[in-house]
C-alpha cells in the first residue's frame, strides 16, 4: 500500500482516540474518515480505502457498511 511513492502508514489508533475527543460527531467510522484525511493528509478515496482495508478494526467498519471497494466508499462519503 503506497501513497505518493511511499508506504502508507498504519492507522494510529491512539492518535485517533485523541482526535475523537474534539469532535461532536457520533459515528466512529465517519470520525475515522475525517481523522485519516486530517492526520495523514490523504484525500484520495482509493488510498483511504487501501488504508482501511489493511487494518482489522477498520475492515470490520467497512464490512458493517457493506463497503467492498473504493467506489462504494466514495459513494458513502459523498452522502455525508
Spatial separation of the C-alpha atoms in residues 61 and 16, rounded to whole Å: 15
76, part of any domain: yes
Q: Is residue 60 part of a domain?
A: yes
pLDDT, position 2: 46
| 6 CB-near residues (< 8 Å, 6+ apart) | none
- Show the domain range for 39: 26-80
11 in a domain, yes or no? no
| Number of domains the chain is built from | 1
Q: Is residue 39 part of a domain?
A: yes
Q: Which residue has the cell 502508514?
A: 9
* 63, 57, 49, 43 alpha-carbon torsion, rounded to 10°: 130
Tell me the C-alpha to C-alpha distance, in Å, between residue 24 and each of 6, 14, 31, 47.
32, 18, 9, 26
Residue 3 domain-assigned? no
- What are the pLDDT digits (tens) for 2-60? 445 455 679 999 999 999 999 999 999 999 999 999 999 999 999 999 999 999 999 99
Amino acid at each position: 500500500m503506497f501513497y505518493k511513492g511511499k508506504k502508507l502508514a498504519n492507522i494510529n489508533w491512539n492518535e485517533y482516540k485523541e482526535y475523537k475527543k474534539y469532535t461532536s460527531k457520533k459515528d466512529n467510522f465517519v470520525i475515522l474518515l475525517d481523522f485519516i484525511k486530517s492526520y495523514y493528509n490523504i484525500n484520495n478515496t482509493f488510498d483511504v480505502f487501501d488504508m482501511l482495508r489493511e487494518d482489522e478494526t477498520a475492515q470490520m467498519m467497512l464490512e458493517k457498511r457493506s463497503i467492498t471497494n473504493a467506489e462504494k466508499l466514495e459513494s458513502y462519503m459523498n452522502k455525508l
